[in-house]
């Protein structure tokens, strides 16, 4: 486990440096080192290089790492929480809620900070609605939560379509459509400051209580017998996963499949133990999304929205999972 973790850290560090070199304005590795070390040690500046490194690529690279880690950890937690390997972070409608909030923000204001705040708030409203509905439904609590999430996600998807229908087709509609496809092109340092606190807070809490996920995965009765308050713990998991997923979506748009496929790769490396799975999934998610973002911004003359490429890669992997798993689910 330790060797694999160190190897993943090395891969992420190498990819972090290489990402600075790639782009429409290519940089040599010496330019990157001079820019990074110049600020730290002697305060020297090279105007064009510093602008590219610190104002454009650094926030984008950090955003890709943070969003990838958040989506992968949230997916790993939810797959254990719901005891279903085909669950993703948007199971409770967080992505649809954020998409609706962003669409409304673009329609009303167009200001970047307002769009992010609106996406974040609506993501929480969607999940809170799903959780509230599940509490009044009798029967299996987990099944009720899943069904409530599906209903809320469908409702907010319809509301997104309504906003797109009334939006200005010349200006607002393209912006809404592009946001929904996901991208790091517009991420700046202020966006990272907005998202960093909830992301770090949610991930820290999940890592601290990850051993209880192993207990909860055995079933509610077994968890209660071992002293775990399932209702309170279930609420804590939902809040933390919503916190990190909503923070990720509000700065990057909707990026699908990361939270579904990365935890499976993590399990193939370290097994199903959440004490090992969550840190490894976070690193794998960061590596994966940073790698995909580098492809998206360098593959074509125009930048490809990252949600398109993650779907192209994720869909075949999803089919592979369905073919490999037991058919008893269906």
pLDDT in tens, the chain (330 residues): 789 999 999 999 999 999 999 988 888 888 888 877 766 555 555 677 888 888 899 999 999 999 999 999 999 999 988 888 888 999 999 999 999 999 999 999 888 889 999 999 999 999 999 999 998 887 777 889 999 999 999 999 999 999 999 999 998 999 999 999 999 998 988 999 889 999 999 999 999 998 888 887 766 666 666 666 777 888 999 999 999 999 999 999 999 999 999 999 999 899 989 999 999 999 999 999 999 999 999 988 889 999 999 999 988 887 887 777 554 433
Q: Counting beta carbons within 10 angstroms of the beta carbon of residue 169, is it exposed (0 to 12), middle (13 to 18) or buried (19 or more)?
A: exposed
What is the number of H-type helices and E-type strands within the chain?
A: 15, 0
Does this model's pTM top 0.75?
yes
Residue 87, SS3? coil
Report CA-CA distances (Å) from 208 to 36, 202, 240, 309.
Answer: 33, 10, 12, 33
Q: How many CB atoms lie within 10 A of CB 303?
A: 15
Residue tagged 């797109």 (tokens): 164
User: Which 3 state secondary structure label does DSSP give 300?
Assistant: coil
Q: Which two tokens stand for residue 98?
A: 């954020």
């Amino acid at each position: 486990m330790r060797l694999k973790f160190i190897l993943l850290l090395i891969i992420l560090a190498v990819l972090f440096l290489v990402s600075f070199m790639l782009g429409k304005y290519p940089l040599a590795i010496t330019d990157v080192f001079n820019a990074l070390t110049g600020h730290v040690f002697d305060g020297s500046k090279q105007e064009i290089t510093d602008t590219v490194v610190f104002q454009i690529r650094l926030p984008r690279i950090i955003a890709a790492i943070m969003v990838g880690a958040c989506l992968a950890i949230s997916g790993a937690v939810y797959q254990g929480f719901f005891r279903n390997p085909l669950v993703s972070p948007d199971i409770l409608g967080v992505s649809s809620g954020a998409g609706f909030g962003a669409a409304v923000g673009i329609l009303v204001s167009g200001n970047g900070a307002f769009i992010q705040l609106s996406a974040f708030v609506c993501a929480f409203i969607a999940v809170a609605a799903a959780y509230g509905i599940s509490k009044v439904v009798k029967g299996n609590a987990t099944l009720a939560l899943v069904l409530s999430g599906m209903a809320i996600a469908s409702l907010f998807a319809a509301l997104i379509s309504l906003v797109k229908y009334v939006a200005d087709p010349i200006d607002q509609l393209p912006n809404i459509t592009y946001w929904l496809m996901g991208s790091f092109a517009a991420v700046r340092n202020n966006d990272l400051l907005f998202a960093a606190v909830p992301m770090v807070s949610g991930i820290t809490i999940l890592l601290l209580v990850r051993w209880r996920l192993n207990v909860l995965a055995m079933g509610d009765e077994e968890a209660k017998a071992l002293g775990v308050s399932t209702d309170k713990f279930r609420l804590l998991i939902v809040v933390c996963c919503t916190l990190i997923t909503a923070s990720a979506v509000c700065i990057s748009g909707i990026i699908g499949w990361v939270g579904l496929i990365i935890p499976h790769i993590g399990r193939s490396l370290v097994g199903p133990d959440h004490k090992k799975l969550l840190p490894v999934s976070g690193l794998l998610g960061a590596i994966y999304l940073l790698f995909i973002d580098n492809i998206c911004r360098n593959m074509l003359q125009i930048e490809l929205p990252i949600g398109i490429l993650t779907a192209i890669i994720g869909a075949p992997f999803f089919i592979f999972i369905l073919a490999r798993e037991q058919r008893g689910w269906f």
